[in-house]
Amino acid sequence: MSRVCELSGKGPMSGNTVSHANNKSRRRFLPNLNDVTLISDVLGQSFKLRVSAAALRSVDHRGGLDAYLAKAKDEELSTAAQKIKKDIAKAQASA
């Protein structure tokens, strides 16, 4: 299981651990990923996704999963999230 957010595409970054004596050694900064269940209002269905805490706040800020996916770029989304986005767009077009 890769350490990448399914909605924002946020992944591990690298940097230095700097000691008090200013010694530097490489380290990884991992995203704060959480397994969450998000509900689509249009589809009336819930989806389990692995999302970073920052992306989860963005989902709440934009007004839910449907609104977040409508504005999200396809390059950032995982294949599962792209499929959900396509299904939502299809359901909205038919309604």
Residue range 44-66, pLDDT digits in tens: 999 999 999 999 999 999 999 99
Helix, strand and coil content of the chain, in percent to the nearest 5, comes to 35, 30, 35
Neighbours of 42 (CB within 10 A): 17
Residue type, 37: T
Domains and CATH numbers, the chain: 13-94 (2.30.170.40)
At residue 43, what are phi and psi to the nearest 5 degrees? Answer: -85, -20
What does the mean pLDDT of the chain come to? 96
Does residue 39 contact residue 48 with C-beta atoms inside 8 Å?
no
The overall pTM is greater than 0.85: yes
Q: What is the pLDDT of residue 2?
A: 87
Going by C-beta distance under 8 Å and a sequence separation of 6 or more, which residues neighbour residue 1? 50
